[in-house]
Amino acid sequence: MPARNILVINCGSSSIKFALVNEAQATFPLQGLAECIGTAEAVIHFESAAGKESVKVPNADHQAALAQILPRVEDAAGGHLDGIGHRVVHGGEKFFASTLLTDETLASIEANIQLAPLHNPANLSGIHAAINLFPELPQVGVFDTAFHQTMPPHAYRYAIPGFLYEEHGVRRYGFHGTSLRFVSRRAAEMTGLPVENSGWLVAHLGNGCSTCAVQNGESRDTSMGLTPLEGLVMGTRSGDVDPSLHYFLNRTLGWDLAKIDNLLNKESGLKGLSGLSNDMRTLADARNAGHPGAVLAFEVFCYRLAKSLAAMSCGLDSLDGLVFTGGIGENSAAVRQRTLGHLKLLGFKLDDAANARCTRGVSGEIQAEGSRRILVVPTNEERQIALDTLALLDA
């Protein structure tokens, strides 16, 4: 059987990220991004071994953009595409694994819209467009939340009256599950430990950030909650604040809920603390130049991350190591060093040279002798989505 090709699609409200994954090739034959969908500036960027190209598609909606993308994908796949894997943000309590998309499963995703009112409708428009264009191809949904459905109630319940959970689904769900699943399995492979008998603390640090306790291949706890706002300091999200902050801002400044929600999601985190940028690269340079806001943002980011990892250890039966991933986790030796400086009591000690070596896609173990394992593991959500799609095709 020739190596199979899966198209992976991640649809946002005005963007489509896509990658063609061939099961036998380490790199993607074709990948790209459609941006500004639904506006006069809509454009698709393609990237392959042949180079980069951008194509303007003024006013294209999701379906029109996908119609432009698909012939190139088929071409790059040698005319043979085997399936399509879709990233879906919220699977609620219904989806604890990836699933074939059928009328029934699509209805369940629709039913979760109130849990992810910005993300799930965008994911669904990509799915419907792909089904319209390729009705005969198997299509699979891969959920950010599914990996965390193994959390026990003491980790996922909020201490609020029960009817809010029972009647309205108010609980902690967690996100980044596809990445956390991929890197925790890779960490087990890299260290020769059986995934079904190992315990890991994982920090996924990108624009969104979360930690996770992974025991025997299952999520036992994670820092994000009902929404991706809970937990760590992120690029523009505050992470945890006193829940009474809403009431305080309303009472003292007269702000309404929409304004407070925007503040906590879009204007806070590294951006709000530094007053400079949400981007860790910019902040690293500014911190080196002594910018007080950048110094503070970096310190709060690392301390809160360490505190969250220590808290996550409560979810584990055993601790084999700590895994860093995501743009910041994979690249920032400074963040790793500062964070681990707060975690000495958990038995972590860094090898500075190994830490400096692991950037730009270089993976490896970075602990000093006598320390518990510390790993840098590049994530690959597209690969994981393709693997899930292939597994469902085989089943």
Binding site for ligand ADP (CB under 6 A): 206-208, 235, 279-281, 284, 326-328, 331-332, 359
Angle at 345 between CA 342 and CA 350, to 5 degrees: 60
Q: How far is the CB of 359 from ligand ADP (least distance, A)?
A: 6
Is 117 within 8 Å of 138 (Cβ atoms)?
Answer: no
Give the list of residues 6+ apart from residue 151 with CB closer than 8 angstroms, or none: 172, 174, 219, 220, 221, 222
Crossing angle (nearest 10°) for helices 280-288 and 333-341: 70
Q: Is 285 annotated as catalytic?
A: no
Q: How far is the CB of 299 from ligand ADP (least distance, A)?
A: 15
Q: Which is nearer to ligand ADP, 112 or 178 (CB)?
A: 178
Q: How far is the CB of 79 from ligand ADP (least distance, A)?
A: 31
Q: Which is nearer to ligand ADP, 207 or 227 (CB)?
A: 207
Q: Which is nearer to ligand ADP, 21 or 316 (CB)?
A: 21
Q: Which is nearer to ligand ADP, 198 or 223 (CB)?
A: 223
Is 175 within 8 Å of 229 (Cβ atoms)?
Answer: no
Q: Which is nearer to ligand ADP, 155 or 333 (CB)?
A: 333
Q: How far is the CB of 99 from ligand ADP (least distance, A)?
A: 24
Instruction: Tell me the residue nearest to ligand ADP as measured from the CB.
Output: 327
Where do the H-state alpha helices sit in the chain? 62-76, 103-111, 119-133, 153-156, 163-168, 177-191, 245-253, 257-266, 269-274, 280-288, 292-312, 326-331, 333-341, 352-357, 381-394
Is 157 within 8 Å of 134 (Cβ atoms)?
Answer: no
Q: Which is nearer to ligand ADP, 215 or 277 (CB)?
A: 277
Give the list of residues 6+ apart from residue 366 with CB closer than 8 angstroms, or none: 336, 350, 351, 354, 355, 357, 358, 374, 375, 376
Q: How far is the CB of 207 from ligand ADP (least distance, A)?
A: 4
Tokens of 245: 């902050």
Q: Is 333 left (phi over 0), alpha (psi -120 to 50) or beta?
A: alpha
Q: Please report the DSSP string for 90-116 in residue order.
A: --TTT-SS-EE--HHHHHHHHHTGGGS
Q: How far is the CB of 373 from ligand ADP (least distance, A)?
A: 22
**Cα separation, 42 vs 38, whole angstroms:** 7
What secondary structure letter does DSSP report for 260? H
Q: Which is nearer to ligand ADP, 139 or 268 (CB)?
A: 268
Nearest to 339 by CA among 315, 369, 307: 307
Which of these is catalytic: 61, 75, 144, 221? 144
Q: How far is the CB of 327 from ligand ADP (least distance, A)?
A: 2
Residues with a catalytic annotation lie at: 144
